[in-house]
């Protein structure tokens, strides 16, 4: 790998800024001034410094985001704000992308990475990575509905769903709404909303609180994100 690509991959600066740093003799490879951006480096073996700062190479990046309402799950959109617009300049990378999607009117846990093979693994239908949602639903949801979900519902359009886990948390007689958790083993379009819609009810609010082994961190405010821990990354890889 060329040293200029190494530095660019690590978000040290733009290509022109990196060329300037090399010209100013601020870049070192194994304590030797890099005279050109074409100098080869082995990210595993060689040490690259910018002045006195050692630049450690990292191939893959992983972030947990608490996606807010009103933001689309996309890498770019000409008209609407995307989840990638929520990243600061230090963490933003052009190769980052969201794993799966949350609708514009759904909030909660979103995994963002640049690890394509892992994303493919997590989204593969045969792997059935579980996702849990917290929903506020109109009406009083009762135990027979729990059984319907567990048996595998058939939607109004005839779509057969896999069994899902429904947990009733609280019913508010004042609002005539029920707070529930729904755990899915698949991810069909607008699935949670369609499931309750087939019962004649409406989802008032929807938030994803888990994705595979990841749990939405309490205190992670909507619109903010954090890097995954090494332990979380390892759990994802073995999911």
Catalytic residues: 103
Rounded alpha-carbon distances, angstroms, from residue 169 to 122, 164, 178, 192: 28, 16, 7, 16
Question: How many contiguous H segments (helices) and E segments (strands) does the chain have?
Answer: 6, 13
Among residues 176, 235, 233, which one has the least CA distance to residue 204? 176
- Helix runs in 132-215, H state only: 143-151, 191-197
Contacts of residue 2, defined as CB under 8 A and 6 or more positions apart, other chains included, come to 37, 38, 39, 40, 41
Angle, CA of 105, 134 and 61, to the nearest 5°: 70
């Amino acid at each position: 790998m060329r040293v200029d690509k190494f530095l660019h991959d690590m978000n040290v600066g733009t290509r022109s800024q990196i060329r300037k740093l090399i010209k100013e003799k601020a870049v070192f490879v194994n304590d030797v001034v890099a005279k050109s951006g074409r100098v080869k480096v082995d990210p595993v073996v060689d040490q690259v410094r910018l002045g006195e700062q050692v630049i450690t190479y990292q191939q893959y990046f992983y972030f947990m985001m608490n996606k807010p309402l009103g933001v689309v799950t996309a890498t770019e959109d000409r008209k609407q704000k995307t989840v990638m617009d929520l990243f600061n300049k230090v963490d933003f990378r052009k190769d980052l992308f969201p794993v799966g999607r949350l609708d514009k009117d759904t909030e909660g846990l979103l995994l963002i990475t640049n690890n394509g093979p892992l994303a493919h693994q997590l989204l593969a239908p045969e792997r059935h990575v579980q996702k849990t949602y917290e929903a506020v639903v109109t009406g009083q949801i009762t135990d027979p509905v729990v059984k319907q979900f567990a048996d595998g519902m058939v939607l109004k359009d005839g779509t057969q769903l896999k069994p899902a886990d429904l947990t009733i948390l609280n019913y508010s007689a004042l609002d005539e709404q029920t707070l529930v958790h729904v755990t899915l083993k698949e991810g069909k379009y607008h699935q949670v909303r369609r499931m309750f819609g087939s019962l004649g009810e409406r989802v008032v609010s929807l938030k994803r609180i888990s994705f595979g082994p990841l749990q939405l961190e309490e205190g992670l405010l909507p619109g903010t994100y954090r890097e995954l821990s090494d332990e979380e990354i390892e759990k994802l890889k073995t999911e």
